[in-house]
Amino acid sequence: MKVFEALKWASSFLKDNDRDANAGEILLQHLLKQTRSMLLANLHDELSEADLGRFRAAVELHAEGTPIQYIIGSEEFYGRTFFVNEEVLIPRPETEELIYYTLRKMPALFNKGQKLHLADIGTGSGAIAITMKLEETSLSVSATDIAAPSLEVAKGNASALGAEVQFIQGDLLLPFIELNEKVDILLSNPPYIPIDDQKSMSVVVTGHEPHRALFAGSDGLDFYRRFMEQLPLIMNVPGLIGFEVGAGQGQAVADMLLRTFPAARVSVENDINEKDRMVFAALT
């Protein structure tokens, strides 16, 4: 079978199974270790029986619901490649915007060259912590996660990308509270999906991504409530807190932060799709 024939089969098969018809192209690029332009230039090449068998298996796996990122083992985030498996949430473009806004807000709060401690809570693949360290190398960065298998993925990414990050296993801010350790910047993309939403979500997400990283009680706000109890114990002033939130949750989380830090400058930022996606609190 030629490359173009394999892609045509994959497109039709995936469409019949309510999956993205273009996923076959991504899978074949990965399998053949070719860029998109290389693949398109070689459309009339014959696939070996071994490659065709692997390609069919990968396409069928995706049709059954396995995310492409778990099949190929990686996802792009902020211009870098992160290894992912089913122990971690797949990094999303919306979280890149959390990084972007944080970097923009830092100069107004902190002096240039100031030694700052940043904590990423619920780090998963390590995408936030590692990216912040690589974008702002002077930062001292710590990252926590309650799950040891997630931390193993994050450590592997930090090593592969050359980022010096301290990884700590623990529940939310407890590792810092127990050590009486303070932080200047706290970022988190915690679970924020209401549990009942699971019924209407794609099996690509609910059947494969870790539920501990997705769901947070009846209204999706359970983790933010816990943060509010613990944040005053570890935040330095001046300080910056940045959360990713679910669409429609921005004002509720902003109100929580204002009740916890009445003097803070709290802002809700929209993502590229004009949905409220990030909430920041500048402590002064």
Task: Read off the pLDDT of residues 57-101 as tens digits, 9 standing for 90 and up.
Answer: 999 999 988 999 999 999 999 999 999 998 898 999 999 999 999
Same domain assignment for residues 136 and 226: yes
Is 156 annotated among the ligand-binding residues?
no
pLDDT tens by residue, 90-130: 999 999 999 999 999 999 999 888 899 999 999 999 999 99
Is 125 annotated among the ligand-binding residues?
yes
Is 192 annotated among the ligand-binding residues?
yes
Domain count, the chain: 2
Is 144 annotated among the ligand-binding residues?
no
Is 142 annotated among the ligand-binding residues?
no
Is 190 annotated among the ligand-binding residues?
yes
pTM more than 0.85: yes
- CATH number, domain with residue 100: 3.40.50.150
Is 191 annotated among the ligand-binding residues?
yes
Could you list the residue range(s) of the whole structural domain that residue 165 is in?
89-283
Cβ(245)–Cβ(253) below 8 Å: yes
Residue where a domain stops, chosen among 47, 64, 81: 64
Same domain assignment for residues 138 and 43: no
Same domain assignment for residues 132 and 174: yes
Is 124 annotated among the ligand-binding residues?
yes
Same domain assignment for residues 209 and 117: yes
Same domain assignment for residues 186 and 122: yes
Same domain assignment for residues 39 and 99: no
